[in-house]
Structure 1
Amino acid sequence: MPDVSVPVAKATKQVRLVTNQNTKIQVRTASIEILVGGPYGDHAYGHAALRVTTSEVDKVFDYGRYGKTWGVGGSEGEGILNIWNNSAPYIRGENALGRVTTGFTYETTEENANKVLAFYEQKIADKKIKSKTSAKTSVIIDEYYALGPNCTTLSVSGAKVIFPDIDRDRAKHQQGRGLGLMEKSLVRAKGWPDNIFMPADLQSMLQNSTSRKPKAIKTYGGAK
């Protein structure tokens, strides 16, 4: 039996489905989903993004070094925020890399989900649009740095708008998973930041949280 996910607004109207078998309609409620991508190929660091769903939208906010880079090993660069108009193409792109993405879903109210959307709207206000397609808009919002702001720190900041305790256990999981020995030495020399900055550390924290348990954990994709 196929599943069809629709927002509340659509579910309250007439929904027409053409199918030759029974179809289960899942009404999508407001939530945030922290998407943690694992390593793939020679890319050991992983990735993180934040998905926000409401009765009207399903967006993914995906931040990274998607433009010019500089610094030691390209540790710095243009901080570009990709705003995906739908989560499906974002997930397809991650799957195409052979990356396994783990989604941690936290249900919330429409009001709270809109607060998270507003947080990202503030990030892009008056900022330069790098590119725009039917799938996503890419905006240069600041300078990216490996220890933050990066994909993990911005995703957590978005979640903390409504769940300020979501990273309460961060100190227990701040191990620099995915970093090499030399990279860890450089971090120690500079001083470990207070915030979670590595995707694998974030995943460990969310999986073992003592402060806020996710409503659901879902795995997307698999290794090639």
Structure 2
Amino acid sequence: MPEPRRTESRTVPARESVVRVEMAPDSEFHMLIGGPYEQDGEQHRYGHTAVRIKTPVSDTVFDFGRYGATTGDFGAEGEGILRVWSNFGKYIAGENVLDRTTTAYVYRIFSRHTRPAAAFFEGHVAGGRRREDLELGRSYLRVFQLQQSYHALGPNCTTISLDAASAIWPTYEEGSMEYMDPGAVLSFAERAALKLYGTPDRLFLPENLQRFLDDEPPIRVDRKETYP
């Protein structure tokens, strides 16, 4: 019978108090903002917004967008498709293939504080229907067609993501309307087409949201990460 391995105990000076260590946030909320990209010689200036929620037991990206049938000028309307990714690497690889830059605005929070945002998405999923035809056998991806249709002015990728953030922080969008600037993103023809739908009352463009978060938003960003 082998000899039991001896272990030694030693006292390591603590760099932080026990109370502070125990109170450190164990989870994160990421607002993911993808920039413009070019594909087949065509400029795609609209950008994209998604949400990533990391807890000690899960890492999920909620990705709402025009992934189904579209209608209207410039595909402004269509099926409201929510893609739920259980593998962040797979999600961001798809964004990187487009040669677009994605910036993550990261908030460190406790896992219990992520629940309102998770519940927001779960409510949409519960009222929608599974679209396995859009999953293409990918085990790390579930796709749902929501009852809520997509519209370029909202509900869209940015407004849905803002709704999730606001479920955690009710003041998340305060002051954001000062950053509303469609002219910084959309072409003249796109702006003319969108005027037919009226004036939006909240941010709906990823680029405008990014400038808001880069400035002095009411909820402080803990750190930024850039992909690729």
TM bucket (normalised to shorter chain) is 0.7 to 0.9
Look up the SS of the partner of 1:67 in the other structure.
coil
1:189 Cα deviation from its structure 2 partner: 5.2
Instruction: Name 2:226's counterpart in structure 1.
Output: 219
Kept in 1, the 8 Å contact 2:65–2:157? The answer is: yes
User: 2: distance between equivalents of 1:28 and 1:110?
Assistant: 8
- The TM-score normalised by the length of structure 1 is 0.83
1:81 Cα deviation from its structure 2 partner: 0.2
User: 1: distance between equivalents of 2:222 and 2:210?
Assistant: 15
**Given the alignment, which residue of 21, 34, 39 partners 1:37?**
34
User: 2: distance between equivalents of 1:125 and 1:214?
Assistant: 31
Aligned residues: 195
1:28 Cα deviation from its structure 2 partner: 8.8
Instruction: Name 2:54's counterpart in structure 1.
Output: 53
CA-to-aligned-CA distance 1:127-175 (integer Å, 9 cap, x gap): 2111243111010002100000000000110011011212112111000
Moved over 3 A (4+): 185-191
Gaps of 5+ in 1: 1-26
**Given the alignment, which residue of 138, 142, 149 partners 1:137?**
142
Kept in 1, the 8 Å contact 2:172–2:217? The answer is: no
Greater C-alpha Rg:
2
Instruction: Name 2:21's counterpart in structure 1.
Output: none
Q: Does 1:112 align with 2:97?
A: no
Gaps of 5+ in 2: 1-23
Instruction: Name 1:63's counterpart in structure 2.
Output: 64
Instruction: Name 2:204's counterpart in structure 1.
Output: 197
Aligned runs of 1:82-101 on 2, under 5 Å? 82-101=83-102
Instruction: Name 1:18's counterpart in structure 2.
Output: none
Identity across matched positions, percent: 36
Q: Does 1:179 align with 2:186?
A: yes
- The TM-score normalised by the length of structure 2 is 0.81
1:210 Cα deviation from its structure 2 partner: 3.6
Bigger strand fraction: 1
183-192 or 62-71: which moved more? 183-192
